Amino acid sequence: MGWGDWLSARVLPEAQMQANQTRTKLLNDPYYRLQSVADIQLAATLGISIDANLAGVDDWLRLPGLSIHQARSLVCLTQSGVQFHCLDDVAAALGLPVQRLKPLEPVLQFCYYDPASPTAIPTLNVNQASVEALTRVPGVDLFLAKAIAQHRQRYGSYRNLADLQQRLALPPALTAELMHYLKFS
């Protein structure tokens, strides 16, 4: 056995072992952060994808090279109604050249969601909504709508659903009902 044969016999099993470990992590950890282009390609072959128009901060952070600030910016845009139609849109939103994001393309999906669709759930910004608008949210009566508005005025904007629940001492069942109808920005 020559030097090259020995090296090949040694390197290939190590690479294969690392690929198997990554595969296991991808299948078992929904928040596993992809480390390389090879990880992205493996994730794509496993059917793992991220819908750019529904992705949350944790979804965006799975992708290598994206910062928390960039992930939050993308989520803020989609929550405000901006839809990404292709990789060029994401690159433009981040102020990056599209070539820098090209390696991420195998796991990104760009689905279109019609906000006027009868199946679309309208969301309401709890930090800007009037008492009247809040009463149109399923599960929110006049008493709760007033409490939301008064607490917001006295203590400031709600950071997220958990903050709303804690500040108003909402029961878990009601919080679960509200989570699809409220947004926070």
Predicted local distance difference test score (pLDDT) of residue 81:
81
Residues 90, 132 within the same domain: no
Q: The dihedral of CA 78, 84, 87, 91: what is its sign?
A: negative
Predicted local distance difference test score (pLDDT) of residue 89:
96
SS3 of residue 145 by DSSP: helix
pTM, whole model, 2 decimals? 0.61
Decide if 17 is inside a domain. yes
Q: For the chain, how many structural domains are there in total?
A: 2
SS3 of residue 177 by DSSP: helix
Residues 105, 35 within the same domain: yes
Question: 69 and 63 in contact (C-beta within 8 Å)?
Answer: no
Q: Give the whole-angstrom CA distance, residue 100 versus residue 137.
A: 41
Q: Give the whole-angstrom CA distance, residue 178 versus residue 185.
A: 16
SS3 of residue 156 by DSSP: coil
Predicted local distance difference test score (pLDDT) of residue 32:
86
Residue 176: which domain range?
124-183
Predicted local distance difference test score (pLDDT) of residue 26:
77
Residues 95, 23 within the same domain: yes
Predicted local distance difference test score (pLDDT) of residue 117:
67
DSSP 6-33: HHHHHHHHHHHHHHHHHHHHHHH-TTPP
Residues 96, 136 within the same domain: no
Residues 130, 169 within the same domain: yes
Per-residue pLDDT of the chain (185 residues; tens, 9 = 90+): 555 555 455 555 776 777 788 788 878 887 788 988 989 998 999 988 999 998 999 999 999 999 999 999 999 898 778 899 999 999 999 999 999 999 999 999 998 877 676 666 678 899 999 999 999 899 999 999 999 999 999 999 999 999 999 999 999 999 998 988 898 87
CA distance to 123, 144, 177, per residue, from 170 (Å):
19, 10, 11
Predicted local distance difference test score (pLDDT) of residue 141:
94
Residues 30, 105 within the same domain: yes
Residues 14, 82 within the same domain: yes
Residues 102, 128 within the same domain: no
Q: For residue 95, what are its two tokens?
A: 């102020």
Which residues, other chains included, contact 33 with Cβ-Cβ below 8 Å and sequence gap of 6+?
Answer: 61, 62, 63, 64
